[in-house]
């Protein structure tokens, strides 16, 4: 699953993962993190998510990273935002008030950029990636965020054999294996959402839960980072 896969989905408008309102689970659970208002929040694989507007409205500075130029163009146009632009080794940057977007690869973010992010919001990133890339993602992004960083992760859990991802099923044991012991991982909600997800039902999925995790970076190297270094 490479960059062209996602570029093609945006060109064809196959973006069922996009919501037309801020994610209710974000609104319900973000206050639990108790972040200072001016915190910089990383939103990897951000698409044109309206969650970024909601985070900015809470007083945060938002850093979204997205491969698709079409997604970024749509986000700016649909929300009537005018952005200042510049280029860096990370890609093209778009700055509109409290929201900065980088058209580039989240896996390639440098240490200085990640050191400035004291929070992460992961609604559509980890579940968009197959298993091998999830390990790389944890080692490239989560392991390099600063100690004390906090996060909210929202995943899906379903019998993976019943449906091809993305979105993929990412269950609690895998989340813990990817992030612990460097991160404290707390499950704060799990709910059955199958009845409301007709596309899953139509594909024969028999069970579907969403899980919400509160995350706290304690600063110790975790298994994914160690494996990355030794491999």
The DSSP secondary structure of 68-109, one letter per residue, reads -HHHHHHHHHHTT---EEEEETTEEEEEETTEEEEES-GGG-
pLDDT at position 231, please?
A: 41
Q: Residue 10's pLDDT is what?
A: 56
Among 60, 63, 61, 65, CA closest to 46: 65
72-82 per-position pLDDT tens digit: 999 999 999 99
Residues (pLDDT < 50) of the chain are 221-231
Which pLDDT tens digit goes with each residue over 160-194? 999 998 999 999 999 999 999 999 999 999 999 99
DSSP state of 33: G
Which tokens go with 9? 């989905």
Could you tell me if residue 74 is inside a domain? yes
Q: What residues form the annotated binding site?
A: 10, 45, 66, 123
Q: What is the pLDDT of residue 181?
A: 93
- Predicted pLDDT of residue 6: 58
Write out the binding residues for S-adenosyl-L-methionine: 10, 45, 66, 123
Q: Which domain holds residue 61?
A: 3-12+22-230
Q: How many domains does the chain have?
A: 1
What whole-number distance in Å separates Cα of residue 211 and Cα of residue 52?
Answer: 20
- Looking at the domain assignment, is residue 58 inside a domain? yes
pLDDT at site 21:
81
Joined tokens for residue 207: 């069970």
- Is residue 187 a part of any domain in this protein? yes
Q: What is the CATH number of the domain that holds 194?
A: 3.40.50.150
* Residue of 37, 44, 76 whose CA lies nearest to 60: 37
Residues in the chain: 231
């Amino acid at each position: 699953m490479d960059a062209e896969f996602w570029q093609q989905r945006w060109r064809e408008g196959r973006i069922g993962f996009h919501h037309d309102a801020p994610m209710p689970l974000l609104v319900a659970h973000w206050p639990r993190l108790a972040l200072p208002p001016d915190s910089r929040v990383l939103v990897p694989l951000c698409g044109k998510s309206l969650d970024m507007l909601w985070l900015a409205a809470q007083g945060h500075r938002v850093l979204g990273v997205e491969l698709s130029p079409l997604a970024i163009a749509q986000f700016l146009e649909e929300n009537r935002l005018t952005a200042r632009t510049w280029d860096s080794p990370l890609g093209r940057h778009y700055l509109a008030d409290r929201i900065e977007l980088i058209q580039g690869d989240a896996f390639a973010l440098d240490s200085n950029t990640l050191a400035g992010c004291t929070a992460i919001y992961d609604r559509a990133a980890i579940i968009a990636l197959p298993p091998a890339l999830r390990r790389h993602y944890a080692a490239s992004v989560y392991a390099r965020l600063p100690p004390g960083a906090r996060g909210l992760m929202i995943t899906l859990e379903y019998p993976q054999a019943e449906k091809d991802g993305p979105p993929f099923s990412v269950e609690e044991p895998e989340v813990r294996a990817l992030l612990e012991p460097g991160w404290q991982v707390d499950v704060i909600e799990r709910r059955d959402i199958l009845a409301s997800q007709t596309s899953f039902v139509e594909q024969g999925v028999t069970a579907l839960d969403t899980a919400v995790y509160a995350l706290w970076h304690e600063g110790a190297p975790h298994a994914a980072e160690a494996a990355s270094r030794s491999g």
